[in-house]
Amino acid sequence: MQLTSKKPPIIWLNLLVLGLPILIAFTVVPWYGFTYGYGLFEWLWFIILMTFCEMSITAGYHRLWSHKAYQAHPVLKVIFALGGACALQNHCIVWASDHRRHHLHVDDNEKDPYSVKLGFWYSHFGWMIREYESVKDDLTNVDDLFNEPVLVWQKTYYLPLTLLMNLGLPLLLGYINGDIWGALLLLGFLRLVLSQHFTYLINSAAHMWGSRQYDPNQTARDNSFIALLTYGEGYHNYHHAFAWDYRNGIKWYHYDPTKWFIKACSWVKLTSNLRACSSWRQELTRVEVQYQSALVNCEKVIDPAFLRNRLESEYQTLLQTLNHWADLKQQWYEKNSKNLQDKIHEIDAAHIQQSYNELKTRLRAQRKSWKALLQDFSNLADSSQPQAN
């Protein structure tokens, strides 16, 4: 699908639903704030509803239903369905269908509903305001979601649910606090605009700016700043490489409140069967990407043969250590598994622990050596480029 001078017809209802809240948020909301002011009550509920909406999309629509990264208790599903209606991003069945097509056909302008290759604004929200072919509803990829009673209920009553959550709830809170207009403007319109457009940044900005250490062949990128605005969804290159992982931020220092919430809920049995990619597979994927990049840099120097052999040797050594590390880790898990207690006598626990610790030390040293080698290759490639006059 190419964007030509003859564009598809505008979907006026979508344009109104997307445009009117923006207009009010940029005009009436600040005017009311300067004229009458917003109290602590409104700001606290603004934060609560922002979190409620965003987490319902990230933990519910996205990681639970679109990717089946974990299982959730029915109570949690109802909460996510209500929060999704509050976020006003369509009912989950259509949302998940679009998102699954995006992952399957990412960057394909004909099939990716919000391909960033058609421009920032198109992928941000332009794809929703015209009758593009790639956006037409085709729910054959979400047959499984029609077996979810909560989602069928949300789809059936989506309009009254959105009115209840976006108008009824703010009006009720405003009535309780004695400031109906303030609550409607802050908790209704401003909250709606920000929660929507923070989510849309994943389709646009997270496909334009950031790093690609897991899959450099697609536009999805890891961007820690966007993660701050989207409750952890900014680690997008990793997500596209391992979409079934309930985490987006895999390091302890990655800001991913959605991951923390899902994990915390598992402690009280509200979530279960959390799926996660092994650290071995993550590192193997990163090393393969780095290796291919270094091979390209090899070809930029005058005599690449020696460097290529050095790279291959270091690469194979690192792979062997990673595989050995993974094997020992698996043995350690088996040794401690309640289901495999009968195997304990076959395993020398002390030997495994010692070997595992030694291997971790060796792997740490080889990672450092690998990183230094990659830096050398990059520097050599840069120095081999012709200098500008």
End-of-domain residue from the set 272, 293, 315: 272
pLDDT of residue 179: 94
pLDDT of residue 344: 46
Q: Does residue 291 sit in the same domain as residue 247?
A: no
Q: Is residue 2 part of a domain?
A: no
Structure tokens at 231: 């409750």
End-of-domain residue from the set 220, 246, 272: 272
DSSP readout, 276-332?
---HHHHHHHHHHHHHHHHHHHHTTSS-HHHHHHHHHHHHHHHHHHHHHHHHHHHHH
239: Cβ contacts below 8 Å, ≥ 6 apart:
220, 233, 245, 248
Q: pLDDT, tens digit, for every residue of 148-172?
A: 999 999 999 999 999 999 999 999 9
Q: How confident is the model at residue 286 (pLDDT cuts 50, 70, 90)?
A: confident
Q: Does residue 322 sit in the same domain as residue 192?
A: no
By three-state DSSP, how is residue 230 classified?
A: coil
Which is more confident, 367 or 114?
A: 114
pLDDT at 203 over 60: yes
pLDDT at 317 over 90: no
pLDDT of residue 310: 63
154: Cβ contacts below 8 Å, ≥ 6 apart:
81, 84, 85, 91, 92, 161
pLDDT at 386 over 80: no
pLDDT of residue 322: 65
Q: How confident is the model at residue 314 (pLDDT cuts 50, 70, 90)?
A: low
Q: Does residue 225 sit in the same domain as residue 301?
A: no
Q: Is residue 1 part of a domain?
A: no
pLDDT of residue 361: 67
Count structural domains, the chain: 2
Q: Does residue 267 sit in the same domain as residue 290?
A: no
Q: Is residue 240 part of a domain?
A: yes
Residue owning tokens 């319109």: 189
pLDDT of residue 340: 47
pLDDT at 332 over 70: no
Q: Does residue 114 sit in the same domain as residue 248?
A: yes
pLDDT at 190 over 60: yes
Which is more confident, 128 or 308?
A: 128
pLDDT of residue 388: 45
Q: Is residue 4 part of a domain?
A: no
* CA separation, residue 165 to residues 42, 58, 87, 178, 195 (Å): 16, 18, 9, 19, 14
End-of-domain residue from the set 212, 240, 272: 272
Quick one: which of 190, 262, 258, 186 has its CA closest to 228?
A: 258
Give the count of beta carbons closer than 10 Å to the beta carbon of residue 341.
11
Quick one: what percent of the chain has pLDDT higher than 70? 74
d(CA 373, CA 310): 9
* CA separation, residue 91 to residues 82, 110, 128, 249, 295 (Å): 10, 24, 14, 26, 46
Q: Determine the structural domain holding residue 190 and report its residue range.
A: 12-272
d(CA 70, CA 72): 7
pLDDT of residue 375: 67
pLDDT of residue 389: 43
Helix or strand holding residue 271 (H, E): strand 271-272
Q: Mean pLDDT over all residues of the chain?
A: 84
Q: Is residue 199 part of a domain?
A: yes
Q: Does residue 185 sit in the same domain as residue 123?
A: yes
Q: At what angle do helices 349-384 and 304-336 cross, to 10 degrees?
A: 150
Q: pLDDT, tens digit, for every residue of 41-86?
A: 999 999 999 999 999 999 999 999 999 999 999 999 999 999 999 9
Q: pLDDT, tens digit, for every residue of 180-189?
A: 999 999 999 9
Structure tokens at 143: 């047959």
